[in-house]
Chain A
Amino acid sequence: MYPSRFRYEAPRTIDEAIQLLHEGGAEAKVLAGGQSLVPLMKLRFAAPELLVDINNLPGLDHLDVAADGGIRVGALCRHRDLERSLDVAQAQPVMAAAAPLIADPVVRTRGTLVGSLCHADPQGDWAAVVTALGGHVVAQGPGGRRDIAITDFVTGPFQNVLAYDEVAVEAVLPPPRARVAGGFLKLERRVGDFATAGTAVALEIDGDRVVRAGIALTGVGSRTVDARAAADSLVGQGLTGEAIMRAADLAAEAAQPTSDHRGSAAYKRHVIHTFVTRILTRVSQTSEAAA
């Protein structure tokens, strides 16, 4: 299989890339890791007339973990870089848990976190992680840069709010105000398959109280599900068995799964309930052990 014909450009500066996208209009597409776009083009689900390869742009491969715990992930930072980063492992357990579960090890050498956000696959993993962490995307266009909250960024299946001449240059995870905890669990039929269901939980804990919580779900809706009510139910609480059960109930309620070859809607809802319970229980046990 091969893609339909397209014009290929590999600009050396971001301004040049934006100019090319501007000229290309709605028929232009950005190529970063290409691990979703190239298969889509081969299957002819996508047939852009112009491909703007950003792999030669300088200053986009960064993975900065600041002293305050804030993280900036450049558009050319690969899943593999996140998977192997000791700084990320220390700063954000939910990211560290998700990184080795993205696709498969070979895909992870090329695919990017920012590209995954832009691709906005309802079964993608990073959008759930970034949603749970309350992150945003930085987009650069002819008029300069703007920040877009992840919850506004993804608008539907495979749809984002970027203008046709904007490049998503980085993803930003805000610095936490308290001790971070959390996790990411995914059910997949085999390594590299799309998620049957997945759950990202990001917490900030002060003493024994949760002061901030984010829970986001993948594979159980037409877009990443922000389980706000479930997360809010934890804020101000200790991670008691009762609080964990309530959050798991609310998260399962927020899921909008459909029955398909990966499982029935009821099954996927059950998986979400189990995952939330499992992650929160593990955090509560670790916190107790540390105390």
Chain B
Amino acid sequence: MTSLYEEIPQAAAEDVPVRRITVSVNGQRRTADVEPRLLLAHLLRQGFKLTGTHTGCDTTNCGACTVLVDGLPAKSCTMLAVQADGHEVTTVEGLAGPSELHPLQEGFKDEHGLQCGFCTPGMMLAAKALLEENPDPTEDEVRFALSGNLCRCTGYQNIVKSVLWAAQKMNTAKTQGGESE
């Protein structure tokens, strides 16, 4: 149960209303009792202990908290947890199984797409949504799709390369898969 921000002492006489929500997180059905003001980012991090979703600016600018809601990128610091009721959420933990890497994760590793790594989960999820809509993007299209995600280390060059790397890998896998069928 994630009823409340842990650090807020509950006013003794106050009856804090909670709402039961059911969210699919990385394909797993999760139920939580949440106070309406709980943000989705905090439900994921504190409630479900999925700390791969980072909160950066906390003001809807940086995109570090980007997750997919029903397949589309959303800033989880700017969405109430109650709004995710009945929806599907994908976090960076859901990109691949525990012993494997998603092509995007491989790409970020291979092309040195991160330095401090803080923006990386949000970058990868925004990129995942892009590649699902447009499997073979140009460099400009990658830059445009990631323009809501800020990175303070890399200057973006290697992030863009990483996404293009992943696109190529995924497309090659698809072609090879097609030939073997």
**A residues lining the B interface (CB < 8 Å):** 1-8, 10, 31, 34-35, 38-39, 41-43, 51, 53, 55, 80, 100, 103-107, 109-110, 191-192
Contacts and interface: CB of A to CB of B under 8 A. Distances in A.
Given A53-B83, A106-B73, A39 B78 contact: yes
A107 B37 contact: no
B75 to A, nearest CB: 6
A1 B171 CA distance: 41
Interface string B16-46: 1101000000000000000111110010000
Contacts of B170: none
Nearest to A9: B36
B126 A8 contact: no
B16 A5 contact: yes
A38 B78 contact: yes
B73 A2 contact: no
A6 B16 CA distance: 10
Q: Taking each of B73, B77, B146, which has the highest tally of chain A beta carbons within 10 Å of its own beta carbon?
A: B73
A38 B80 CA distance: 8
A67 to B, nearest CB: 28
Nearest to A39: B60
A275 to B, nearest CB: 21
A5 B60 CA distance: 20
Contacts of A8: 19, 36, 80, 82
B80 A34 contact: yes
B148 A192 contact: yes
Nearest to A103: B148
Contacts of B165: none
16 contacts: A8-B19, A10-B82, A31-B80, A34-B79, A34-B83, A38-B80, A39-B59, A39-B78, A41-B37, A100-B144, A105-B148, A106-B73, A106-B75, A110-B78, A191-B147, A192-B148
B42 A35 contact: no
A14 B39 CA distance: 25
B61 interface: yes
State the main secondary structure of chain A at its contact with B: loop
Contacts of A41: 37
Given A105-B126, A106-B75, A107-B148, 10 more contacts: A6-B36, A8-B36, A35-B78, A53-B82, A104-B148, A105-B145, A106-B66, A106-B73, A106-B149, A191-B147
Interface of B: 5, 16-17, 19, 35-39, 42, 58-61, 63, 66, 69, 72-75, 77-80, 82-83, 85, 126, 144-149
A154 to B, nearest CB: 22
A191 B148 contact: yes
A5 B58 contact: no
B62 to A, nearest CB: 9
A44 B37 CA distance: 12
B79 A106 contact: no
A7 B79 contact: no
A107 B66 CA distance: 10
Contacts of B148: 103-107, 191-192
B42 A2 contact: yes
Contact of A5 (B37, B61, B79, B144): B37
Contact of A2 (B38, B79, B85): B38
B3 to A, nearest CB: 13
A6 B39 CA distance: 13
A105 B80 CA distance: 19
A88 B58 CA distance: 33
Given A5-B35, A8-B36, A42 B58 contact: yes
Contacts of B61: 192
A233 B130 CA distance: 44
Contacts of A103: 148
Contacts of B38: 2
Contacts of B59: 1, 39, 42-43
Nearest to B73: A106
A4 B37 contact: yes
List the 4 closest pairs (A to B, CB-CB), nearest first. A104-B148, A8-B36, A106-B148, A191-B147
Nearest to A106: B148
